[in-house]
Amino acid sequence: MNILFAASEAAPFAKTGGLADVCSALPIALSEQGHNVSVIMPAYSGIENVGVPIESTGKTLTIPIADRIVYGELLKSHFPNTNVPVYFVRHDLYYHREGLYNSRGVDYQDNCERFVFFCRSVLETIRLLNLEVDILHANDWQTGLIPAYLQTMYKSSSKFQDLSDPFAGFGMLEDYDVRNTKDAPLYDRIKSVFTIHNLRHQGRFWQWDMNLTGLDWKYFTYDKMEFYDQLNLLKTGITFSDVLTTVSPRYAEEIQTEGFGERLQGVLRYRREVLHGILNGIDTHEWDPANDPALSDPYVCFDQNSVFENKPKCKKALQQEWGLPERPEVPLLGIVSRFDPQKGLDLITQLAGIWVQRFGVQFVVLGTGDSWLEGRFHELASWYPENIAVRLAFSNSMSHRVEAGADLFLMPSRYEPCGLNQMYSQRYGTLPLVRLTGGLADTVINGSDENIQRGIANGFCFHAATTDDLNKAFEWAIHCFYDRKDDWKKMMGIAMAQDWSWSRSAKKYADLYQDLLQKK
Ligand code: ADP
Ligand code: GLC
């Protein structure tokens, strides 16, 4: 199949979270399975530092934004060590900025325009390069307009097409009536897939931004693009795509309920026949404890056989690197996270002091984001310098070393569409302690007596997002660490043997694409 994957970020070119990991690992896995996959994303500043050459395609993007024309350039590269092409939509005024979506916590005012430009560019790229595309796979709100443009403007046979007004929303731009032109066959064959990685981030803008999209106002209705008087780009993706997916089976169920639906549960329930939950995989080359360049001197790599010998060395090196006393006997707790209310880290800040005093535990905390949380962790580190080390930074190599050196990895998320760090942790023999929600519930099996005996426990879990529940699970985990060392080792072995590689999930996406292509 010919698959074009559109995303606002993809590692290693640009990353703010797990979206970037998935938007590189999944296309690469699909390509390894024999499909013809390309990725397209914005050309942010920094993409040139990845170490692969980036070239111009010589093609100019000519995009209508409201009543203006905005030009862009189409660049081309590939993911490192692969042949998977990556196209970049270049328009420096939009994308050469400090952050991807915001600066110092404040969203860019023109985010709607930035991603209108990107989405239109994706559709235009197909004809500029004469790309054969069977599946156009869009991800999250930044790409939500793509299925809408495909259906309403680019397909000659669209059921949404308004034939009475061929230039609707486009002023005098004849070039932009692509319907029934020579390019129509390129688009008519395409099916669209839209993946929700996080329902909370919806790309909501004031309604007059509808004019920027160039789409007819008749789509500004409660069953398509309108959401409580605002324009909602995630909802647009949900309502216009042929098939919807989200990143774990549990989250696919949860988002149809009031508690997790972010006021879109009705729309999602309406589309439940085409909504699928496919668990994310992990890139087992990048996250490979047996061969991890981030763990080179003074760190060591380890695999299932050498884990009990070498992981303690990683722990020691981590304590050194983070300025904590080298204490092999105390549990070392790891956190690598965006600081966002989603992640439930406020619960940890309430309990950290108590845990330090009662159990002598150490923490290494790597994260940035919410300034309140940054302040709280900073404060905790100053109160307990021997036990709590905090780095308010985004560092890929550090995150590898935390995964390798910690004993227990904490993810008390209030909601978690999938979560990748619990799977990275398991692969590094670091037991995750998680709240049972979304993908965490689909990947972590609690270390209860019964589950340990059955040989299936691979972490620790709690139910309610309360300090009480978290504390109970934590006390049990600490008891296992200190007093049931054999059980702990057994769980480490089970966790490390878990196969979270992309191959299985990529196959599920491929099957889904195939089914879709067979439908009329
Ligand atoms: P989310 O996408 O909601 O942030 P995931 O668990 O799916 O959650 O993915 C988070 C990704 O971002 C992981 O690859 C994690 O290692 C990475 N990450 C988050 N914060 C940091 C940080 N401060 N430094 C390095 N990597 C980070
Ligand atoms: C989102 C979610 C996270 C998921 C990631 C990749 O950022 O918060 O749970 O793993 O996307 O799908």
- C-alpha 417 to ligand 2 mean position (Å): 5
The amino acid at residue 467 is T
Ligand 1 mutation pick, 141, 198, 292, 336, max ligand atoms within 8 A of CB = 336
Atom of ligand 2 nearest to the CA of 416: 9
- C-alpha 418 to ligand 2 mean position (Å): 5
First to last CA, the chain: 17
- Give dist(CA 366, CA 389) in Å, integer: 9
Measured at the CA of 24, the angle between CA 22 and CA 26, to 5 degrees, comes to 60
C-beta of residue 457 within 8 angstroms of C-beta of residue 446: yes
Per-10-residue mean pLDDT, the chain, length 520: 98 96 97 98 96 97 94 98 97 97 94 98 96 98 97 75 44 46 84 98 97 95 97 98 98 98 98 98 94 91 94 97 98 97 98 98 97 97 98 96 98 98 98 98 98 98 98 98 97 97 96 94
Ligand 2 mutation pick, 100, 140, 197, max ligand atoms within 8 A of CB = 197
User: What are the residue ranges of helices labelled H in 406-466?
Assistant: 421-427, 438-443, 449-453
Instruction: Answer whether 440 contacts ligand 2 (Cβ < 6 A).
Output: no
- Give dist(CA 447, CA 433) in Å, integer: 10
Q: Indicate the pTM of the whole model.
A: 0.95
Ligand 1 — pocket residues by CB below 6 A? 17-19, 21, 336-338, 366-368, 394-396, 399, 418-421
- C-alpha 67 to ligand 1 mean position (Å): 39
Q: Which two tokens stand for residue 144?
A: 């939500």
- C-alpha 427 to ligand 1 mean position (Å): 16
pLDDT recorded at residue 158: 55
- C-alpha 422 to ligand 2 mean position (Å): 12
Ligand 1 mutation pick, 201, 421, 430, max ligand atoms within 8 A of CB = 421
pLDDT recorded at residue 157: 64
pLDDT recorded at residue 185: 86
pLDDT recorded at residue 382: 98
Give which of 64, 176, 60 is closest to 129, Cα–Cα.
60
Residue 127's alpha-carbon distances to 60, 80, 241, 307, in angstroms, are 12, 26, 20, 52
pLDDT recorded at residue 181: 61
**DSSP for 135-204, written as a single string:** EEEEESGGGTHHHHHIIIII-TT-TT--TT-TTTTSTT-GGG--TTSTTHHHHHT-EEEEEES-TT---E
